[in-house]
Structure 1
Amino acid sequence: MKRYTTTTAVIALLSSLLLSGCKGFLDEYSQDTIVPTTAKDYSEILYGDAYFKEVALPYRYLDLLTDDVVTMVNANSTQGDDQRRTGYGYYTWQDNPELSPTNVLNTDLTWLTLYQHILSANIILDALDDMEGTTEEKAQLEGEAHAIRLFAYFMLTNIYGEPYDPVTASTAVGVPLNYHHYAEDVSFPRATVAEDYAEMEKDIQGADEAFAKVSDERNIFRWNHAAAAVLASRVYLHMQKWDKVIEYADQALSLNGALRDLNTLPEPGSDEAKNFICKDNKEINYSYGFGIIPELSSVHPYYFGPSDDILSSFDKGDLRYDGENGYFISTTKENVGGWLFPKWVTTIKIVKTDMSEITGIYGFAIRSAEAYLNRAEAYAMKGDLSRAMKDLNTLRRARVTPEYAVLETPGTQEEVVRLIWQERRREFCFEQLRWFDLRRQGMPELHHTYITGTDKETGTEEYTLPAKSPKYVIPVPHTVRISDAVLGGGKETK
Structure 2
Amino acid sequence: MRRLKFNLSYTTALAAISLTIFASCEKYVDIKTQGQLTPGTIENYRYLLNNTNAFEAAPSISDMAADDLEIIDGSAQQKGLVSSDYYGYYSRAYQWSDVIYPIENMYHKDDAWGALYNTIAYANTVINEVPSVTDGSDLEKAELMAEAKIHRAAAYLMLVNTYAKPYQQATAGTDLGVPLLLSPSTEQPLVRVSVQTVYDAILKDIQEATPLLPNEQQYTTLPSKAAAYGLLARTYLYMSSYSEAAAAADQALALNSTLIDLTALDQLTASNYPKRVFNQEILLSKVPVNGVSAYTPTAFRLSSDLIKLFGEHDQRYNLFTVNGDIISSWDVYEGRYYYLDYVMNEGRNVGPTVPEMLLIKAESEARNNKPAAAMALVNQLRARRILSKGTVNLSASDANDALLKVVAERRREFMFRMLRWWDMRRLKDDALFQKTYTRTFAGKTVSLAPNSNRYVFPIAQYEINLSPEIVQNP
Superposition TM-score tier, normalisation by shorter sequence? 0.7 to 0.9
Which residue of the partner structure matches residue 68 of structure 2?
Answer: 68
Mark the CA change 1:294 to 1:318 in structure 2 (over 3 Å): closer, same or farther. closer
Mark the CA change 1:408 to 1:276 in structure 2 (over 3 Å): closer, same or farther. farther
| Residue 323 of structure 2 corresponds to residue 315 of structure 1 | no
Which residue of the partner structure matches residue 219 of structure 1?
Answer: 219
Mark the CA change 1:301 to 1:162 in structure 2 (over 3 Å): closer, same or farther. closer
SS in 1 for 2:9: helix
Which residue of the partner structure matches residue 87 of structure 1?
Answer: 90
Per-residue CA distance 1:27-49 (angstroms, 9 max, x = gap): 325xxxx72311x3212123338
Structure 2 letter corresponding to 1:311: I
Structure 1 letter corresponding to 2:195: V
The counterpart of 2:437, out of the listed 433, 446, 467, is 446
Residue 84 of structure 1 deviates from its aligned partner by: 5.8
Structure 2 letter corresponding to 1:350: Y
Which residue of the partner structure matches residue 477 of structure 1?
Answer: 460
Which residue of the partner structure matches residue 463 of structure 1?
Answer: 446
Which deviates the most, 281-290 or 162-171? 281-290
| Residue 203 of structure 2 corresponds to residue 201 of structure 1 | yes
SS in 2 for 1:330: strand
Which deviates the most, 14-23 or 253-262? 14-23
Which residue of the partner structure matches residue 41 of structure 2?
Answer: 37
Give, in whole Å, the separation in 2 of the partners of 1:113 and 1:301: 24
| Residue 396 of structure 2 corresponds to residue 409 of structure 1 | yes
SS in 2 for 1:462: strand
TM-align CA RMSD: 3.5
**Structure 1, gaps ≥5 residues long:** 337-342, 453-459
Residue 252 of structure 1 deviates from its aligned partner by: 0.8
Residue 354 of structure 1 deviates from its aligned partner by: 3.4
Structure 2 letter corresponding to 1:287: S
Which residue of the partner structure matches residue 284 of structure 2?
Answer: 286
8 Å CA contact retained: 1:66, 1:434? yes
Per-residue CA distance 1:13-70 (angstroms, 9 max, x = gap): 22322323874231325xxxx72311x32121233387345xxx56222111111112
Per-residue CA distance 1:131-190 (angstroms, 9 max, x = gap): 322455334312211111111110111111111011221121111211223221x31321
Which residue of the partner structure matches residue 25 of structure 1?
Answer: 33
Give, in whole Å, the separation in 1 of the partners of 2:141 and 2:15: 23
8 Å CA contact retained: 1:71, 1:84? no
8 Å CA contact retained: 1:353, 1:363? no
Give, in whole Å, the separation in 2 of the partners of 1:230 and 1:476: 28
The counterpart of 2:420, out of the listed 427, 430, 434, is 434
Residue 351 of structure 1 deviates from its aligned partner by: 1.6
Structure 1 letter corresponding to 2:321: I
SS in 2 for 1:175: strand
Which deviates the most, 163-172 or 367-376? 163-172
Which residue of the partner structure matches residue 457 of structure 1?
Answer: none
Give, in whole Å, the separation in 1 of the partners of 2:309 and 2:210: 36
The counterpart of 1:306, out of the listed 280, 298, 302, is 302
Residue 275 of structure 1 deviates from its aligned partner by: 5.0
Structure 2 letter corresponding to 1:447: T
Larger Rg: 1
Mark the CA change 1:242 to 1:301 in structure 2 (over 3 Å): closer, same or farther. closer
Give, in whole Å, the separation in 2 of the partners of 1:405 and 1:127: 52
**Structure 2, gaps ≥5 residues long:** 22-29, 430-434
Mark the CA change 1:389 to 1:174 in structure 2 (over 3 Å): closer, same or farther. same
Q: Under a length normalisation based on structure 2, what TM-score does the superposition of the two structures give?
A: 0.84
Give, in whole Å, the separation in 1 of the partners of 2:368 and 2:170: 19
The counterpart of 1:177, out of the listed 172, 175, 180, is 180
Residue 383 of structure 1 deviates from its aligned partner by: 2.0
Aligned residues: 452
Residue 292 of structure 1 deviates from its aligned partner by: 8.2
8 Å CA contact retained: 1:65, 1:435? yes
Residue 221 of structure 1 deviates from its aligned partner by: 2.7
Residue 331 of structure 1 deviates from its aligned partner by: 1.8
Give, in whole Å, the separation in 2 of the partners of 1:302 and 1:389: 36
Per-residue CA distance 1:407-452 (angstroms, 9 max, x = gap): 1132x221111111111111100111111111001264221121x3
Give, in whole Å, the separation in 2 of the partners of 1:229 and 1:374: 12
**Identity over the aligned pairs, expressed in percent?**
26
Which residue of the partner structure matches residue 100 of structure 2?
Answer: 97
Which residue of the partner structure matches residue 432 of structure 2?
Answer: none
Which residue of the partner structure matches residue 352 of structure 1?
Answer: 340
8 Å CA contact retained: 2:222, 2:284? yes
Per-residue CA distance 1:191-242 (angstroms, 9 max, x = gap): 111111111110120221211xx35444323122212211110000011222
Structure 2 letter corresponding to 1:62: S
| Residue 192 of structure 2 corresponds to residue 190 of structure 1 | yes
Give, in whole Å, the separation in 2 of the partners of 1:301 and 1:4: 35
8 Å CA contact retained: 2:221, 2:285? yes
8 Å CA contact retained: 1:109, 1:477? no
SS in 1 for 2:352: strand
8 Å CA contact retained: 1:277, 1:352? no
Per-residue CA distance 1:330-363 (angstroms, 9 max, x = gap): 22557x9xxxxxx98645331222376x57x875
Give, in whole Å, the separation in 1 of the partners of 2:2 and 2:462: 20
8 Å CA contact retained: 2:325, 2:332? yes
Give, in whole Å, the separation in 1 of the partners of 2:45 and 2:87: 41
Residue 93 of structure 1 deviates from its aligned partner by: 1.4
8 Å CA contact retained: 2:234, 2:352? no
8 Å CA contact retained: 1:59, 1:108? no
SS in 2 for 1:163: coil
SS in 2 for 1:447: strand
SS in 1 for 2:193: strand
Q: Under a length normalisation based on structure 1, what TM-score does the superposition of the two structures give?
A: 0.81
| Residue 323 of structure 2 corresponds to residue 331 of structure 1 | yes
SS in 2 for 1:36: coil
SS in 2 for 1:285: coil
Give, in whole Å, the separation in 2 of the partners of 1:218 and 1:302: 33
Structure 2 letter corresponding to 1:283: E
Mark the CA change 1:287 to 1:353 in structure 2 (over 3 Å): closer, same or farther. same
Which is strand-richer, 1 or 2? 1
Give, in whole Å, the separation in 2 of the partners of 1:375 and 1:249: 7
Structure 1 letter corresponding to 2:380: T
Which deviates the most, 134-143 or 63-72? 134-143
Give, in whole Å, the separation in 2 of the partners of 1:431 and 1:150: 19
Give, in whole Å, the separation in 2 of the partners of 1:302 and 1:216: 35
Which deviates the most, 284-293 or 62-71? 284-293
